[in-house]
Chain A
Amino acid sequence: MLLEIKNVVKDYASHRALDHVSLSIPRGKIFGLLGPNGAGKTSLIRIINQITGPDSGEIIFDGEPLAPKHIERIGYLPEERGLYKKMKIGEQMLYLAQLKGLNKKEANNRINYWFEKLDILSWWDKRVEDLSKGMQQKVQFIATVLHEPDLIILDEPFSGFDPVNANLIKDEIIELNKKGATIIFSTHRMESVEELCDHIALINRSQKILDGNIKDIKNKYKNQTYKIELHSLTDEKSIRIENLYQLKNLEQIENKTNITIKLNQDISINQVLQSLLPLAEIHQVLEIVPSINDIFIEQVTLSNNSKKEIDHA
């Protein structure tokens, strides 16, 4: 584990931002930190960045309690991002890199490397105010990873990028990860989570409600639902086999019938297929795995409802 968060509590004057949150972020993985707005993600990220401190709990970075010296091993791209408007890009990069502990020469070399890589060498003497928002984001991304941090924290890294540049940045993130960087990736964009993340944690209302390997989670939440494509179904009633499954959906397109079914407990798909075989020709069987988006919505709604019940009780 590169980073372990143990029982962290953070209170603000009027509310509790983090309520006994524990997370383990494995080394070399891309970790998705998910949650609705105001769930406490930013509070957690700020604590990891030592911008604020926890009221109680412990954070272990690479085997040691988190300390100011670790700042240089962490790169942070905040959601609310910006640069000095009047400062030249090159100077600004140098300044930010030096604040992260690089010496001037080293910083210069790395800026050159990155500017060349992203083909923006001509921006060196430009001012931030002369760049478009997307260009600024690119510069800011470079500033985040310039000091080659072991842990990169990206808060909504793709917001403000056009699809081309978003892809470019995504490739860079994957490359950095391959080189060994651990990445914490906080976002609302679920499709990029499925694409990039190995692990996720879901935070809602200051509490962690779910975490683990993304495949495990998906397996855990797939609820025995299958989509079956049948050919030339004649009798609709005949396929309602109530003791095996519930029919969730049925649609007929030309001479094809698609059904979505949820298996009853202790029933296997093979049993179902056996009973269906005499009734119709089976073209395709698909297990429906819930998307992270579905899980996200389901879990958040669930936890909100249970909270409400508690509140009402």
Chain B
Amino acid sequence: MHKILLIIQREYFSRVKKKSFLLMTFLVPLFFIALYGGIFYLTKKSFKDAHAHIYILDQHGDFAPQLKSDPNITFTVSNRPLRDLKIQIKDDEQNSSILVIPKNIYQNSAIELISADKANITIQNSIARQLEGIIRLTEYKKLGIDPQVLVSVQPHINVNAKELTEDGEEKNSNTGIAMGIGVGLAILVYLSLFLYGVQVMRGVIEEKSNRIIEVIISSVKPFQLMMGKIIGIGMVGLTQFLLWIILTGGLIFLATNLLNKETVEQAAMQQGGMPAMQQTPNSGFGFGILQHLESVNVTEIIICFFLFFLAGYLLYSAIFAAVGSAVDSETEANQFTMPITMPLLLTYVLSFGVIINDPNGPIATWLSFIPFTSPIAMLVRIPFGVPTWQIAVSLIILIFTFLLVTWLAAKIYRVGILIYGKKANYKEIMKWMKY
């Protein structure tokens, strides 16, 4: 037992002390923060860029006074001839257009928007909505309906999606955020199973090609060496995740606190200045994420993530170790890693479609029970809410498979690490299991 600790220690510290580990650990959260900030910045910027200056050429006469400027659009009533205006918008530096409202607008329900460049679709929609409002109001008046009455009878319905929890209580549900988290978890688990599994394989190949293997296994059992390596590298993974969670969490907390003030002010201004405009989904971006997170069980997700990542990692890294022992170089390993990682890749791809869209459907459920796919499939389902018994059963199957696979992998490993220069094939490897 003491010896396996020594091996774990070496595997762990030789990796954690590496510069690349520190780099990865600190750069990845920074990358996510940068991404987060980047999205926020770009949405804000695109908002500004979309601002349009519009000259109204009102041939009908009723509309110009009723069109209201908003943060996106500034209207200017113009009496100049169309030709002059055309020249002007070409010279204008800002994004300007001419809105021609024809005399027969009530009959044709059509207007013309002439822009120097292609007209922005949000601007078009915004103008159309304003004009529709004005026309509707006029029509109502013609019919003798008081607009005040209309406002008072206008119904407004908010859909508050709730789902029943197991103990019969209702909780807020948010499919969008569950989807986001599900996909995020799929990517994270897929990448990390690969990343750390391949590290185990590389470690085994390194020991084999260095020829140190024989020295080591004259001191410890091959199984101890294999498990020591797997556990050591697994702990490197856990350390990295923990640091990521702490760093990203801390940075996001800081960032949202700073950004929120700005966002709230901006949102307030938008709403005050332009009541008719719908609230864009962009506003309150940072604030929204934290609020939405409350609709899923973050603790459950984090616990399940660690459990399924660990069990999945142990399962796959045992296979990777066996593959590493059977080959002399990494290039030779490809023929074995391909079929082994197929179930992972399949689940990964499916998680963006079938599993996300129908998280409790038969395919998703089956995939979350099959041990080779469950580490990804189950984690994708968990944000949508999965009965505890399913999680438990899936985890138990996964753990038993891991024990069985490790036992077989150890048998292959034991033989493989001592065989040099002989190209292994599946038939050969099957034989090793019987040695």
Q: Are B216 and A80 in contact (CB under 8 A)?
A: no
**Given A87-B14, A99-B220, are A78 and B6 also a contact pair (CB < 8 Å)?**
no
Cβ contacts under 8 Å, A13 to chain B = 431, 435
Q: For B216, list chain A residues within 8 Å (CB).
A: 96, 99
Chain A CB within 8 A of B212 CB: yes
A184 to chain B, nearest CB (A): 13
B211 at the interface (CB under 8 A from A): yes
Does B420 make an interface contact (CB < 8 A)? yes
Q: Mark B1-27, 1 if CB is under 8 A from A, else 0.
A: 001001100100010000000000000
Contact A143/B215 with A82-B210, A83-B210 known, Cβ cut-off 8 Å? yes
Inter-subunit contact A82/B211 (CB<8 Å): yes
Once the chains are docked, how many angstroms separate the CA of A287 from the CA of B46?
104
Given contacts A80-B420, A98-B6, A99-B6, contact A85 B210 (CB under 8 A): yes
Inter-subunit contact A100/B431 (CB<8 Å): no
A7 is an interface residue with CB less than 8 A from chain B: no
A74–B420 touching, CB < 8 Å: no
Contact B218 A49 (CB under 8 A): yes
In the complex formed, the residue of A with least CB distance to B420 is A80
CB of A313 within 8 Å of the partner chain: no
When the two chains form their complex, are residues B219 and A71 in contact, meaning their CB atoms are under 8 A apart? yes
Residues of A contacting B7 in the complex (Cβ-Cβ under 8 angstroms): 99
**In the assembled complex, A81 has its CB within 8 A of some CB on chain B:** yes
Query: In the complex the two chains form, is B220's CB within 8 Å of A78's CB?
Result: no
B218 touching A83 by the CB < 8 A rule? no
Known A-B contacts A80-B420, A86-B14; the reply to A96 vs B219 at CB < 8 A is yes
Q: B406-435, CB under 8 A of A: which get 1 and which 0?
A: 000000000000101000000000010001
Q: A100: which of B219, B418, B420 is its contact (CB, 8 Å)?
A: B219
Please tell me if the beta carbons of B220 and A84 are within 8 angstroms of each other in the complex: no
Chain A residues contacting B215 (CB-CB under 8 Å) are 76-78, 81-83, 96, 140, 143-144
A61 within 8 A of B: no
Q: Which of B206, B218, B221, B418 has the most CB of A within 10 A?
A: B218
The answer for the CA separation of A83 and B214 in the assembled complex, in Å, is 10
Q: C-beta contact mask, A97-109 vs B, less than 8 Å → 1, else 0?
A: 0111000000000
- Bound together, the chains give a CA A49 to CA B213 distance in angstroms of 13
Chain A contacts of B435 at CB under 8 A? 12-13
Interface residue A95 (Cβ < 8 Å from any Cβ of B): yes
- A46 contacts the other chain (CB 8 A): yes
How many angstroms from the CA of A200 to the CA of B435 in the assembled complex? 31
Interface SS of chain A? loop
The reply to whether the CB of B177 lies closer than 8 angstroms to some CB of chain A is no
Q: Is A51 an interface residue (CB 8 A)?
A: yes
CA distance A81 to B210 in the complex (A): 8
| A-facing residues in B209-247 (Cβ within 8 Å) | 210-212, 214-221
A209, B219: Cα distance in complex, Å: 31
Q: How many residues on the A side are at the interface (Cβ–Cβ under 8 A)?
A: 29
Q: A95-B10, A99-B6 are in contact. Are A78 and B219 (CB under 8 A)?
A: no
Per the 8 Å Cβ criterion, residues 112-156 of A in contact with B are 140, 143-144
Contact of B211 among A52, A68, A81, A87 (CB under 8 A): A81
Contact B3 A51 (CB under 8 A): no
CB-based nearest A residue for B210: A82
> Which of the residues B212, B214, B218, B221 comes within 8 Å of A74, measured between beta carbons?
B218
> Chain B residues near A51 (CB, 8 Å)?
214, 217-218, 418
Give complex CA distance A71, B218 in Å.
7
From 189 to 223 in chain B, residues with beta carbon under 8 angstroms from any chain A beta carbon are: 206-207, 210-212, 214-221
Whether the pair A81, B214 counts as a contact (CB closer than 8 A) is: yes
Chain A: CB-nearest residue to B434 = A13
B218 contacts A76, CB within 8 Å?
A: yes
Chain B residues whose CB sits within 8 angstroms of the CB of A85 once the complex forms: 206, 210
User: A83 — which chain B residues lie within 8 A by C-beta?
Assistant: 210, 212, 215
> How far, in whole Å, are A100 and B119 apart by their CA atoms in the complex?
77
A50 and B220 CA atoms in complex are apart in Å by 9
- Give CA–CA (A200, B32) in the complex, Å: 68
Contacts of A96 in B (CB 8 A): 215-216, 219
Least Cβ–Cβ distance between B435 and chain A, in angstroms: 8
Please give, as numbers and ranges, the residues of chain B lying within 8 Å of A80 by CB-CB distance: 211, 214, 420
Contact with A along B327-364 (1 / 0, CB 8 A): 00000000000000000000000000000000000000
A80 to B211, CA, bound (A): 6
Residues of B within 8 A of A87 (CB): 14
B232 to chain A, nearest CB (A): 13
Smallest beta-carbon distance A233→chain B, Å: 58
Please, which residues of chain B bring their CB within 8 A of the CB of A68? Answer: 221
A159 CB to closest chain B CB, in angstroms? 13
Contact assessment for B210 and A78 in the assembled complex, using a CB-CB cutoff below 8 Å = no
Complex-state Cα separation, A95 to B228, whole angstroms: 14
Closest to A11 in B: B435
**Bound complex: CA of A231 vs CA of B7, how far in Å?**
72
Closest beta carbon of chain A to B227's beta carbon, Å: 14
Closest chain B residue to A48 by CB distance? B218
A310 CB, min distance to chain B CBs, angstroms: 28
Q: How far is the CB of A129 from chain B (nearest CB, A)?
A: 10
Taking CB atoms, residues of chain A closer than 8 Å to B3 are 99
Query: CB distance A99 to B212 under 8 Å?
Result: no
Q: How far is the CA of A140 from the CA of B215 in the complex (A)?
A: 9
Instruction: Write the chain A residue with the least CB distance to B5.
Output: A98
Contact A78–B418 (Cβ < 8 Å) = no
For the A-B complex with A51-B217, A99-B216, A99-B219 known, give 19 more contacts whose Cβ atoms are closer than 8 Å. A13-B431, A51-B418, A68-B221, A76-B214, A78-B214, A78-B218, A82-B211, A83-B215, A84-B206, A84-B210, A84-B212, A87-B14, A96-B215, A96-B219, A98-B6, A99-B3, A99-B220, A143-B215, A144-B215
Interface residues of A (CB under 8 A from B): 12-13, 46, 49-52, 68, 71, 74, 76-78, 80-87, 95-96, 98-100, 140, 143-144
**7 A-B pairs with the lowest CB-CB distances in the bound complex, closest first:** A82-B211, A82-B210, A99-B219, A78-B214, A76-B218, A49-B218, A80-B211
22 residue pairs A–B, Cβ–Cβ below 8 Å: A49-B218, A51-B214, A74-B218, A76-B218, A78-B211, A80-B211, A80-B214, A80-B420, A82-B210, A82-B212, A83-B212, A84-B206, A85-B206, A85-B210, A87-B14, A96-B215, A96-B216, A99-B6, A99-B7, A99-B220, A100-B219, A144-B215
